[in-house]
Amino acid sequence: MRGVDEQDGCERFEVSTRHRGWTAEAARANRRAPTRSEQLLWDVLRGRQLDGLRFRRQQSIGPYVADFFCAERRLIVEVDGAVHAGQREYDTERQGELEACGYRVLRLSATEVERDVTGCLARIRAAAA
């Protein structure tokens, strides 16, 4: 699902209009029903609360939906709940594709967010630096 932009040689995602619509709808659905850990993290990221950085939640990026995204730093923050235990191979492939397109991906476990949101913010801050 990647192509090379002829102007700058940078890899970009090529996504069909149909797939783009699906990811946009999935992102909206995820925003309407966040997990507990996603809501906890969003409560401290929204409104530029972390070092003035603007984060968006459930952001479509090519064929994927990122839990949290800071465009300024090209940083994706993923909160991995129990469902991710059964899809490690997919997550690794997805992360590799995103990183090949110039994004940084930080993975946090849902348990980690719920137990130590302050520590998670420190990790996000470090990844954004």
Domain presence at residue 18: no
Domain presence at residue 48: yes
Contact 27, 59 (CB under 8 A): yes
Report the alpha-carbon distance of residue 129 to residue 116 in Å, rounded: 20
Nearest alpha-carbon partner for 12 in 106, 90, 98, 96: 98
What's the gap between Cα 8 and its chain centre? 25
pTM of the model: 0.81
Total domains in the fold of the chain? 1
Domain presence at residue 8: no
Domain presence at residue 107: yes
Report the alpha-carbon distance of residue 127 to residue 48 in Å, rounded: 16
Domain presence at residue 82: yes
Domain that holds residue 75: 35-128
> Which CATH number does the domain housing residue 112 bear?
3.40.960.10
Residue 128's CB is within 10 A of a number of other CB atoms, namely: 18
Query: 3-state DSSP helix/strand/coil percent for the chain, to nearest 5?
Result: 55, 25, 25
Residue 86: which pLDDT band, with cuts at 50, 70 and 90?
low
Domain presence at residue 30: no
Q: Output 88 or 95, whichever has higher pLDDT.
A: 95
User: Could you report the per-residue pLDDT of 40-72, keeping only the tens digit for each?
Assistant: 999 999 999 999 999 999 998 888 899 999 999
Domain presence at residue 28: no
Domain presence at residue 71: yes
Residue 81: which pLDDT band, with cuts at 50, 70 and 90?
confident
